[in-house]
């Protein structure tokens, strides 16, 4: 794919001339200061920032991480073939493309304009906002549309994949069900609204589990080598322990009870180690550690 820096989301280290200055009240002037801005340290955090700006549900961001890793795995695996596929999507084009596709597959549609406008400003904090319509905007939009088609072929047009988030409510419910109490799920919707009864995933523990699950899917090794139910079991177990809630039953017994025999104990023991590292903040997304201020997003040049 031909790429082009001039009209892209290219990002370079800020120079003195690129700093926004505040007009001086005296001839001597005041010290220049940069315009307030936000940026992600890598492509994954860039996606998380955009997802929050777009008010996307957590599952949408999680799904975009899955797409990202599936693309990376496809490119890596192709290197062992006689005709390896070139890595034709740079980091930030890939981030925007996976995020765009995930908004569609999770029924959280956003216009490409809604993605491109903040993305451009994040990567060019000291430049004016991108104009819509404009040649530059049309070029970027065309690049993402083309990249979506490439990614769809790599994904074999399979956009719906199981997420740990789908299993967490049930696993968490089963974990807590050994304590006698009222069954709030049997309450009618009107009573739930009146009494402020929230869904399992919206409770104190539930929110932690959902957030940790998304962070886990940002890790290539977890997202690629474990199924969604196994990750969900590991996430719930780590959150319970991290919150000081201890189980009296054996590990094997707990896994069988909450997962219904659908999770291998060996896989559970392995994933627990990796989920714990994510929970404690001891890992990073190695395959995507690309500093914003050092990486250029190259986009396909539009033909006039």
Query: Residue 210 sits in a domain of what CATH number?
Result: 1.10.472
| Domain presence at residue 215 | yes
| Domain presence at residue 42 | no
Whole-model pTM: value is 0.80
Average pLDDT, integer, range 122-133: 91
Q: Give dist(CA 272, CA 265) in Å, integer.
A: 11
Strand partners, 283: none
pLDDT at 162 over 60: yes
| Domain presence at residue 266 | yes
The closest of 173, 180, 161 to 236, measured between CA atoms, is 173
Average pLDDT, integer, range 58-87: 92
CA distances from 215 to 23, 106, 142, 234, 290 (A): 43, 18, 30, 13, 17
CA distances from 137 to 91, 123, 147, 178, 248 (A): 19, 14, 15, 56, 58
Average pLDDT, integer, range 6-18: 41
| Domain presence at residue 57 | no
pLDDT band at 275 (very low <50, low <70, confident <90, very high): very high
* Rounded (to 5) percent helix, strand, coil in the chain: 55, 0, 45
The closest of 107, 46, 115 to 288, measured between CA atoms, is 46
The residues near 56 (Cβ < 8 Å, ≥ 6 apart) are 103, 108, 110
Strand partners, 299: 4
Q: Taking a C-beta distance cutoff of 8 angstroms, is the pair 118, 133 a contact?
A: no
The pLDDT score that the predictor gives to residue 51 is 96
| Domain presence at residue 125 | no
Q: Give dist(CA 40, CA 164) in Å, integer.
A: 25
Enclosing H/E stretch for 146: helix 135-154
| Domain presence at residue 30 | no
Enclosing H/E stretch for 259: helix 251-259
Phi-psi region of 125 (alpha: psi -120 to 50; beta: other; left: phi over 0): alpha
pLDDT one-digit tens code per residue, 217-233: 999 999 999 999 999 99
- Domain span at residue 212 reads 164-177+198-285
pLDDT band at 60 (very low <50, low <70, confident <90, very high): very high
pLDDT band at 10 (very low <50, low <70, confident <90, very high): very low
* pLDDT above 90 coverage of the chain, percent: 60
| Domain presence at residue 107 | no
| Domain presence at residue 263 | yes
pLDDT at 40 over 80: no
DSSP 218: T
DSSP string, 232-245: HHHHHHHHHHHTT-
In this structure, the chain runs to a length of 304
The pLDDT score that the predictor gives to residue 83 is 87
Domain count, the chain: 1
């Amino acid at each position: 794919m031909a790429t082009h820096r001039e009209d892209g989301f290219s990002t370079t280290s800020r120079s003195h001339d690129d700093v926004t200055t505040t007009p001086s009240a005296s001839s001597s002037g005041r010290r220049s200061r940069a315009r307030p801005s936000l940026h992600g340290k890598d492509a994954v955090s860039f996606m998380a920032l955009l997802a929050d700006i777009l008010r996307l549900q957590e599952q949408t961001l999680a799904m975009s991480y899955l797409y990202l890793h599936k693309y990376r795995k496809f490119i890596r695996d192709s290197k062992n073939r006689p005709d390896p596929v070139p890595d034709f999507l740079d980091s930030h084009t890939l981030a925007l493309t996976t995020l765009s596709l995930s908004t569609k597959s999770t029924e959280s549609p956003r216009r490409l304009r809604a993605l491109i406008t903040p993305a451009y400003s994040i990567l060019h904090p000291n430049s004016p906002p991108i104009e819509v319509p404009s040649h530059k905007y049309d070029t970027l939009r065309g690049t993402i549309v083309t990249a979506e088609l490439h990614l769809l072929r790599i994904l074999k047009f399979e956009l719906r994949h199981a997420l740990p988030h789908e299993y967490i409510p049930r696993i968490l419910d089963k974990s807590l069900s050994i304590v006698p109490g009222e069954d709030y799920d049997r309450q009618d919707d009107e009573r739930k609204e009146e009494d402020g009864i929230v869904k399992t995933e919206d409770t104190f523990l539930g929110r932690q589990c959902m957030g940790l699950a998304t962070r886990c899917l940002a890790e290539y090794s977890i997202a690629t080598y474990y199924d969604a139910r196994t990750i969900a079991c590991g996430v719930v177990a780590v959150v319970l322990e991290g919150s000081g809630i201890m189980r009296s039953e054996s590990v094997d017994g707990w896994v069988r009870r909450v997962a219904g025999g659908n999770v291998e104990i060996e896989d559970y023991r392995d994933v627990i180690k990796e989920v714990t590292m994510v929970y404690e903040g001891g890992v990073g997304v190695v395959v995507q550690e690309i500093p914003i201020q050092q990486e250029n997003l190259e986009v396909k040049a539009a033909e006039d």
